């Protein structure tokens, strides 16, 4: 197996201090900058892909197939990694082919990813056995990675996020979409540590049971909050934009509006309400999503 980490020039994520106004409980807050491990494929997506890449090389596959939407961070990251490692990548994209590609898909195409558009109806069947079998017949000897790399290999890779934190901590905060990053983080926690996932999706709580099923022995080491989705996935508001700009001026850390902005706003609200024990050590995980700064507000 090649040492793809060295070839990809992945750096260790720095842990940076967060400035918190009116910190009356003397919380020690830091941000784990996963977005800084690489400009093109930084963030949690690299960790979710890492074990999948190991599977690719150990299984002698010829290509990687995955799924995503027009602005998918996963598509963006996999395309960049595929280019660097010389891996043929194929992205099945939700919806009809547009007249003009999004910046994300333009980037993926420039990296050499083959783009295949499928209807939203077919896309909803992407995890069904019949659909998977058809894909594997069409693309023999391919490694099929689910949308967002939200499989067991992706969860296993996200366990390393917890291990990247070089200091002791009490709480770790992370944005949640599918819950797979949170599940991986929880698996790496010590008994006295707590993870708080902040959902960016509006709706019924399926995340808690998902994370618990992956970590049944750590059901008391995490919780998921649903008060900070700002209207639902990819929704935003003037209030959120104002928070992001103010946060950037104070900390010089850019946030994306889909995930990290909502999670950081949630953290600040929890701090303002003094919902942590005094003197708690809190680490916020910056999961990236900036696509080289393109989608950031405030930078």
Predicted confidence (pLDDT) per residue in 1-12, tens digit: 567 888 898 999
Same domain flag for 142 and 160: no
What confidence score (pLDDT) does residue 234 get?
A: 83
Same domain flag for 231 and 109: no
Whether 242 shows a pLDDT value over 90: the answer reads yes
What are the residue ranges of helices labelled H in the chain? Answer: 4-8, 44-58, 73-85, 103-110, 120-123, 129-138, 152-163, 180-187, 207-214, 238-251, 260-272
Whether 294 shows a pLDDT value over 70: the answer reads no
Per-residue pLDDT reduced to its tens digit, 69-90: 999 999 999 999 999 999 999 9
Same domain flag for 182 and 266: yes
Our count of domains for the chain comes to: 2
What confidence score (pLDDT) does residue 298 get?
A: 45
With a pLDDT cut of 90, the percent of the chain lying above it is 86
What confidence score (pLDDT) does residue 1 get?
A: 57
CATH of the domain at 61: 3.40.50.1100
Banded model confidence at residue 295, pLDDT cuts 50, 70, 90 = very low
Same domain flag for 138 and 201: no
* Closest among 137, 57, 122, 47 to 92, alpha carbons compared: 122
| The Cα angle at residue 82 between residues 285 and 159, in degrees rounded to 5 | 30
Among 21-35, 51-65, 248-262, 281-295, the range scoring the smallest mean pLDDT is 281-295
CA–CA distance, 150 with 147 (Å, rounded to integer): 6
Q: What is the dihedral of CA 72, 78, 82, 83, to 10 degrees?
A: 50
**Per-residue pLDDT averaged across 98-126, rounded?**
96
CA–CA distance, 250 with 140 (Å, rounded to integer): 51
Same domain flag for 110 and 235: no
For CA atoms 236, 210, 64, 11, the dihedral sign is positive
Whether 240 shows a pLDDT value over 90: the answer reads yes
What confidence score (pLDDT) does residue 2 get?
A: 66
* Closest among 172, 200, 183 to 149, alpha carbons compared: 183
Domain that holds residue 87: 44-149
* Closest among 24, 145, 13 to 92, alpha carbons compared: 145
CA–CA distance, 188 with 175 (Å, rounded to integer): 17
Per-residue pLDDT reduced to its tens digit, 141-160: 999 999 999 999 999 999 99
Banded model confidence at residue 290, pLDDT cuts 50, 70, 90 = confident
Q: Rg for the chain (alpha carbons), in Å?
A: 19
Whether 299 shows a pLDDT value over 90: the answer reads no
Q: Answer with the one of 94, 126, 149 that is the final residue of a domain.
A: 149
Average pLDDT, the chain: 93
- What pTM does this model have? 0.93
Same domain flag for 134 and 164: no
Kindly state the tokens that stand for 205. 């709580």
For CA atoms 252, 272, 175, 16, the dihedral sign is positive
Same domain flag for 92 and 210: no
For CA atoms 68, 72, 76, 77, the dihedral sign is negative
Same domain flag for 291 and 202: yes
Phi, psi of 85 (to 5 degrees): -95, -5
Torsional class of 53: left (φ above 0), alpha (ψ -120 to 50), beta (otherwise): alpha
Q: Answer with the one of 149, 175, 208 that is the final residue of a domain.
A: 149
Whether 100 shows a pLDDT value over 50: the answer reads yes
Phi, psi of 152 (to 5 degrees): -65, -35
* Closest among 252, 276, 265 to 170, alpha carbons compared: 276
Same domain flag for 68 and 166: no
Per-residue pLDDT reduced to its tens digit, 212-227: 999 999 999 999 999 9
Contact predicate 180/205, CB 8 Å: no
Per-residue pLDDT reduced to its tens digit, 27-78: 999 999 999 999 888 899 999 999 999 999 999 899 999 999 999 999 999 9
Contact predicate 299/293, CB 8 Å: yes
Whether 285 shows a pLDDT value over 90: the answer reads yes
What confidence score (pLDDT) does residue 286 get?
A: 98
Residues 6+ apart with CB under 8 A from 152: none
Same domain flag for 267 and 187: yes
Same domain flag for 235 and 118: no
**Per-residue pLDDT averaged across 164-169, rounded?**
94
């Amino acid at each position: 197996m090649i040492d793809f980490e060295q070839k990809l020039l992945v750096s260790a994520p720095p842990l940076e201090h967060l400035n918190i106004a009116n910190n009356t409980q003397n919380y020690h807050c830091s941000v784990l900058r996963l977005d800084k491990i690489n400009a093109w494929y930084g963030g949690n997506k690299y960790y979710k892909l890492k074990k999948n890449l190991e599977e690719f090389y150990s299984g002698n596959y010829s290509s990687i197939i995955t799924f995503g939407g027009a602005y998918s961070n996963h598509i963006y990251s996999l395309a960049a990694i595929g280019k660097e490692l010389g891996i043929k990548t194929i992205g099945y994209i939700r919806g009809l082919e547009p007249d003009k590609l999004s910046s994300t898909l333009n980037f993926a195409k420039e990296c050499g990813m083959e783009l295949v558009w499928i209807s939203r109806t077919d896309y909803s069947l992407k995890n069904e056995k019949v659909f998977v079998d058809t894909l594997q017949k069409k693309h023999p000897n391919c490694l099929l990675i689910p949308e967002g790399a939200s499989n067991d290999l992706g969860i296993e890779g996200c366990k390393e996020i917890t291990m990247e934190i070089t200091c002791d901590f009490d709480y770790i905060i992370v944005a949640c979409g599918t819950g797979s990053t949170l599940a991986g983080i929880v698996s790496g926690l010590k008994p006295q540590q707590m993870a708080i996932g902040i959902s960016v999706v509006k709706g019924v709580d399926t995340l808690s049971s998902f994370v618990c099923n992956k970590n049944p022995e750590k059901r008391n080491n995490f919780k998921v909050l649903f008060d900070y989705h700002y209207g639902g996935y990819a929704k935003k508001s003037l209030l959120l934009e104002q928070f992001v700009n103010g946060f950037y001026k104070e900390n010089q850390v850019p946030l994306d509006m889909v995930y990290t902005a909502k999670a950081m706003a949630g953290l600040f609200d929890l701090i303002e309400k003094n919902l942590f024990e005094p003197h708690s050590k809190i680490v916020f995980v910056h999961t990236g999503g900036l696509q080289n700064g393109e989608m950031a507000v405030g930078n």
